[in-house]
């Protein structure tokens, strides 16, 4: 865990490493692309890329399908910085290490963060290949990226998580999905550490808590973003039914196959959303 002074100076050094790539034009929207969803970054033009490994103090992605670089440029007429691949807790990253690139994006100008991932569907009315907008989340990772920071390290220590997923952005996303003919549900997302998939008993319990979808990312990033006051939107590709829903027994193979098929829908939807906010 970095102490407060170390965190701030690390963010400054990391921001300096992005300076050339930013070409003096601050990106206002940050996008995090999850498992199998990285191809959306190919839509960015002209694109300047910076591998995570070239950014001081940043961990690199080790997960399959996560390229591990920033892609900076224009998407849907907006200036964006994209993480093609993310950092997960199950890779051995601390909550603060997972949050670091979110705070870095804020430091270089990002005010709106859009997170995407592949998730399992708990709600039996959902189907693989459809999308789910996050209305709220349940943090079941047992961790919080702000824990251990001081009273005022980047912002005040205590902050609200009501409407963490911005109501206006959700409305825009639902309208864009309707216009694009893409099925976008709206539900409660539950994030946990992984890497084991859930047991049927866990999924049954999460369902009773009101969770509609589940995966191994996002919640720590969203807490980090709300801490520094960014607006947040989250969209999951439903890659599979969660374990025990019907006779589902998900695998990473299934996640990637469905993500690859849904990629074109996600590209259209995201390009439109980014152009509308």
- Distance linking the first and last C-alpha atoms of the chain: 35
- Report which residue's Cβ sits closest to ligand HPA: 120
Q: Which residues bind ligand HPA (CB under 6 A)?
A: 118-120, 197-198, 214-216, 239-240, 242, 250, 255
Residue closer to ligand HPA (CB basis): 75 or 132: 132
Cα–Cα dist 211/55, whole Å: 36
232 DSSP 8-state letter = E
| Cβ atoms of 49 and 69 closer than 8 Å | yes
As given in the structure block, the two tokens for residue 88 are 């997960």
Residue closer to ligand HPA (CB basis): 164 or 214: 214
- Shortest CB 40 distance to ligand HPA, Å: 17
- Shortest CB 85 distance to ligand HPA, Å: 15
Length of the chain: 277
Residue closer to ligand HPA (CB basis): 166 or 198: 198
- Shortest CB 112 distance to ligand HPA, Å: 24
- Shortest CB 243 distance to ligand HPA, Å: 6
In DSSP notation, 203-272 reads: HHHHHHHT--EEESSSHHHHHHHHHTT-EEEEEEEEEEEPTTSTT----HHHHHHHHHHHHHHHHHHHHH
Find where tokens 């890659």 sit. Answer: 239
Q: Which helix (H) or strand (E) holds 139?
A: strand 131-139
Residue closer to ligand HPA (CB basis): 131 or 197: 197
Chain centre distance of CA 220: 9
Residue closer to ligand HPA (CB basis): 112 or 139: 139
Cα–Cα dist 206/275, whole Å: 35
- Shortest CB 196 distance to ligand HPA, Å: 9
- Shortest CB 115 distance to ligand HPA, Å: 14
91 DSSP 8-state letter = G
Residue closer to ligand HPA (CB basis): 22 or 242: 242
């Amino acid at each position: 865990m970095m102490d407060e002074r170390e965190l701030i100076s690390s963010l400054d050094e990391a921001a300096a490493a992005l300076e050339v790539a930013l070409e003096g034009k601050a990106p206002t929207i940050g996008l995090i692309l999850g498992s199998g969803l990285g191809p959306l970054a190919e839509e960015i033009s002209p694109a300047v890329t910076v591998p995570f490994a070239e950014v001081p103090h940043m961990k690199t992605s080790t997960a399959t399908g996560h390229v591990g670089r920033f892609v900076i440029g224009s998407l849907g007429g907006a200036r964006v910085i994209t993480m093609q691949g993310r950092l997960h807790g199950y890779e051995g990253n601390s909550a603060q290490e997972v949050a670091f690139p979110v705070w870095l994006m804020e430091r270089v100008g990002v005010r709106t963060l859009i997170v995407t991932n592949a998730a399992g569907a708990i709600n039996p009315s959902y189907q693989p290949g459809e999308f789910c907008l996050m209305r709220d989340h349940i943090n079941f990772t047992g961790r919080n990226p702000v824990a251990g920071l001081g009273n005022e390290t980047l912002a005040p220590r205590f902050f609200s998580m009501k409407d963490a997923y911005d109501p206006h952005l959700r409305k825009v996303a639902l309208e864009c999905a309707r216009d694009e003919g893409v099925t976008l549900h709206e539900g409660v997302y539950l994030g946990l550490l992984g890497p084991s998939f859930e047991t049927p008993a866990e999924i049954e319990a999460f369902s009773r808590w009101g969770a509609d979808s589940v995966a191994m990312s996002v919640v720590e990033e969203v807490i980090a973003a709300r801490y520094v006051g960014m607006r947040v939107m989250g969209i999951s590709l439903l890659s599979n039914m969660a374990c025990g829903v019907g006779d589902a027994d998900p695998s990473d193979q299934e996640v990637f196959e469905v993500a690859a098929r849904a990629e074109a829908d996600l590209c259209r939807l995201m390009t439109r959303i980014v152009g509308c906010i």
